[in-house]
Amino acid sequence: MKADPSTARQDVAAPATEPVKRSGSIILVLLIAVAVVGAAVGFMLMGRSQAQPFILGLLALLAMVGLFTLFAFAAGIVRFADRVAENPLMRPMADHAFDGLAVTDARGQIVYFNNAYLALTGANGAQDVRPVERVFIGNPDVSEAVFRLLKAAKEGKRQQEEVRITDAERGARWLRMRVQPLGQSRRESRYVVWSVADITRDRERQEDVFQELQHAIEYLDHAPCGFFSVTPTGDLAYVNATLANWLDYDLAEIGSGGLKLTDILSGDGASLLTSITPEPGEVKTEVFDVDLRMRNGKTMPARLYHKLAFGADGAAGASRTLVINRARDEHADPQRAAEVRFMRFFDHTPMAIATVDSSGQIVRANARFAKLTQSLSAQAAANKSIFAVVHDRDRGEVTAIIGRAAEGQGDIPPVEAMLDGEKDRWAQFFVTSVEHDERDAEVAIVYLLETTEKRQLENQFNQSQKMQAVGQLAGGIAHDFNNVLSAIMMANDFLLNAHKPTDPSFQDIMQIKQNATRAATLVRQLLAFSRRQTLRPQVLDLGDALSDLTMLLKRLIGEKVKLDVIHGRDLWPVRVDVSQFEQVIVNLAVNARDAMPEGGKLVVKTSNVAAQEIGRLGIKEMPAADYVRIDVGDSGTGMPPEVMDKIFEPFFSTKEVGKGTGLGLSTVYGIVKQTGGFIYVDSTQGEGTTFSIYLPRHIVEKEAEAPAPVAEGNGDKPKTADLTGQGTILLVEDEDGLRSLNARGLRSRGYTVIEAGNGAEALEELEAEGGAVDLVVSDVVMPEMDGPTMLAAMRKQNPELKIIFVSGYAEDAFEKSLPEGEQFAFLPKPFTLSQLVSAVKETMNA
């Protein structure tokens, strides 16, 4: 039989359970002191010999008392306790607590326990009290939890465990055991407080609540309506079985995650649910007619009841609960069927629609309008006013047309306005008046058609047209200017031949030559921009070309700028003019250097871009094909948008006067375009600029060898020192001055020259010579008959006739006008006398 806990508590000796508060008496202390003093005085009066036996007896008595006290202390009969000031409320609170409390010392022995601890541990009186670890020893379900509690106590930590125990008398129980060391640190924790509480009833309540929740979930799963809950991020947190069945989804599949609100709502329906404006502390319910998207892509109409609770601060809750009524038989309710059809039309139209009152407040809006406002600024998404959608600069015009609609006016012309937000977006506003009275809030219907993409295409087309017009103008000027430069350079050569370096005028003639050469360089840049320059393309590995160019780039950019060349792996070959490609990289590097006056980093990176990746780049004018990409990026000052729109225009420059011609980037643009590539720029002010060049991949095939090119560019050295020759040359040139200079130069080298002012005259001269002409040197663009037409007629008289075409335009500009396989040599204008004579001799000897 178990002892009553109250009775057992009374049998416990106070020193064994807790430090005891002792009481004392000053009178007893004084009596002991008087007795000791009196004995000492008596021994002194008795004399030493007579008092000696009494003194020895007293010392023996005191020794026996001391030895007895030591044994009593060792046996625990006597304890020395401090006088501790004790709160009189603490003891009753601990004794009568509902939870079992026990305090153990550093050796694990119990120094205090209350009545509840005796009852919960099943102890038979105070003599049967045991620590927690000894109470539940042998129970495998509890021993692991007790071990963790003991470990936490030794480490000076708090710990809590809930365990389930079963015994024959009480059955199954749940206990919550806690441990808490006393002290600020592990060293100071001399005592440990153990708490044991019976939580069986709490566990039963939790199980009851869980069962009720399970029943509720089962009810929701099989309810005749669809239920789902969505998080603020758009993820579906719960979908009942009914809705999953409608959508042809498996509940287990939905529970695994990954399904979003946009996956089950068709069109822009998801935007409607997130467009509700909160009111602090409000529980709001909205009704929407939406289209559900099934797993197979089909849709079905449904009415959605959207319930959302907002906190006192106006913030939405953790999730939103939505109820869907499928309304299976719409034909039984014609009014409901018409309403559903109208709402489907209203929400799925590709135009944003909203009805507004006289102050511009939105009364109703469709899904496309909600999606549009959410893609703008946060103010536009949260504000219920139509004016919050419009940028400040155009808000007055929209206010005016809505005011006209509120007055009942009709035929209001649309207004194109900038939308509010970080990016430049535009929309056309169509406003229609609505017949209303004082009870009606709606006064107008506003239709928004976004025109951002249309404006971008128009700007691109206008820019392209402007660049094309400027290119045609530049090409025409360059062609005419080439004739003037050719005459200047030819006459300058005659002057150089007639004057020795010691002549006073020799330096002036050399100055003319240098300026003429600079002018020829500017003309070539204009031709490059207009894509009419002469190119000598060849199959090239860009990695090797950039490696050869690295040292030159380092000298150009200086020591303040760090050059980093990143080569792509296994680059595809491209077909470009090597010298022109090098000019492109050099021009971009020089511009990057000028954009980093305080130093920075220049990165040149190459990579392959497959045709599949082109579509993801979103560049509409670039067809899907394989390209090799070259990025030239700097960490400089960057460019504002207004500058980026003009950087490829000729003579446009942001540099100081005299520090640039404005033809560098226009030359780059022309070379890349003439090669069949594309160039784009991405720049951010204060961060830097990156030019991206896309060159088409060249498929290497076995090709017939092309004829060796004749002399290229200014300053080329003649291939042979002997430039004299013999033979009859028919010189065709419509510029009289240039023709006479060219003829004079050829005659000075020993050739017989027949002059003709145009193609018709050349045919007559050829016929007069009986076709016995060794070479024809002809301009391409001439009045009455151009060069290709003249050549076709001459071939009829002399099929083996050799010809050199000279032109300020590119070779491929007129090559298409000739029959396929036609053999000819080409000499670009302007050219020097030595270049002309060298080309003539090389062609005649071929």
Most confidently modeled range among 188-192, 271-275, 497-501, 760-764: 760-764
Boundaries of CATH 3.30.565.10 in the chain?
Answer: 532-696
DSSP state for residue 265 in the 8-state scheme = B
Q: Are 792 and 819 in contact (CB under 8 A)?
A: yes
pLDDT digits (tens, 9 = 90+) for 88-118: 666 777 777 778 888 888 888 888 888 888 8
User: What secondary structure, in 3-state letters, does 378-425 show?
Assistant: HHHHHCCEHHHHECHHHHHHHHHHHHHHHCCCCCCCCEEEEECCCCCC
Task: State the sign of the Cα–Cα–Cα–Cα dihedral 656, 657, 659, 662.
Answer: positive
Of 277, 272, 16, the closest CA to residue 126 belongs to 16
**CATH H superfamily, domain 532-696:** Histidine kinase-like ATPase, C-terminal domain (3.30.565.10)
229/111 Cα distance (integer angstroms): 55
In 452-609, alpha helices (H): 452-498, 506-529, 542-557, 578-594
- Phi-psi group of 312: left, alpha or beta (phi > 0 → left; psi -120 to 50 → alpha; rest → beta): alpha
406-444: b or e for each residue (b if 16 or more CB lie within 10 Å)? Answer: beeeeebeebebbbbbeeebbbebbbebeeeeeeeebbb
Tokens coding 179: 């441990």
Q: Are 519 and 661 in contact (CB under 8 A)?
A: no
Stretch 357-361: mean pLDDT, rounded?
Answer: 84
DSSP state for residue 138 in the 8-state scheme = T
Of the given ranges (121-125, 158-162, 329-333, 655-659), which has the lowest mean pLDDT? 655-659
Stretch 427-439: mean pLDDT, rounded?
Answer: 80
Higher pLDDT, 13 or 658: 658
Which residue matches tokens 């784009």?
Answer: 680
- Indicate the CATH number of 92-198 among 3.90.105.10, 2.40.50.140, 1.10.150.120, 3.30.450.20: 3.30.450.20
Tokens coding 650: 């000729």
**223-335 in CATH: which number?**
3.30.450.20
Of 639, 642, 754, the closest CA to residue 687 belongs to 639
C-alpha to C-alpha distances, 781 to 49, 495, 703, nearest whole angstrom? 159, 29, 31
Q: Does domain 456-525 have CATH number 1.10.287.130?
A: yes
Q: Are 255 and 273 in contact (CB under 8 A)?
A: no
180/192 Cα distance (integer angstroms): 6
pLDDT digits (tens, 9 = 90+) for 222-244: 777 777 777 777 777 778 888 88
Boundaries of CATH 1.10.287.130 in the chain?
Answer: 456-525
**The architecture CATH gives domain 728-845:** 3-Layer(aba) Sandwich (3.40)
Of 433, 228, 389, the closest CA to residue 323 belongs to 228
pLDDT digits (tens, 9 = 90+) for 165-175: 877 677 788 88
Q: Are 448 and 371 in contact (CB under 8 A)?
A: no
C-alpha to C-alpha distances, 842 to 447, 705, 727, 771, nearest whole angstrom? 73, 18, 13, 21
Tell me, what's the pLDDT at 605?
Answer: 92
Boundaries of CATH 3.30.450.20 in the chain?
Answer: 92-198, 223-335
Strands 192-198 and 100-104: antiparallel
DSSP state for residue 98 in the 8-state scheme = S
In 140-250, alpha helices (H): 140-154, 200-221, 241-246
490/510 Cα distance (integer angstroms): 13
Stretch 334-341: mean pLDDT, rounded?
Answer: 71
Tokens coding 130: 């045991």
Helix, strand, coil in percent for the chain, rounding step 5:
40, 20, 35
Higher pLDDT, 220 or 677: 677
Q: Are 766 and 792 in contact (CB under 8 A)?
A: no
DSSP state for residue 257 in the 8-state scheme = S
Residue 85 has pLDDT above 50, yes or no: no
3-state secondary structure of 512: helix
Burial of 609 (0-12, 13-18, 19+ CB in 10 A): buried
End-to-end C-alpha distance for the chain, whole angstroms: 131
pLDDT digits (tens, 9 = 90+) for 612-639: 888 777 676 788 889 999 999 998 888 8
Could you tell me what percent of the chain has a pLDDT over 90? 3
C-alpha to C-alpha distances, 248 to 90, 268, 323, 328, nearest whole angstrom? 65, 21, 18, 16
Q: Are 448 and 432 in contact (CB under 8 A)?
A: no
pLDDT digits (tens, 9 = 90+) for 765-817: 888 888 888 899 988 878 778 788 888 888 888 888 888 888 766 555 566 56
Stretch 726-754: mean pLDDT, rounded?
Answer: 86
pLDDT band at 303 (very low <50, low <70, confident <90, very high): confident
Tokens coding 829: 């204008």
3-state secondary structure of 213: helix
Residue 476 has pLDDT above 70, yes or no: no
Boundaries of CATH 3.40.50.2300 in the chain?
Answer: 728-845
Beta carbons within 10 angstroms of residue 669's beta carbon: 21
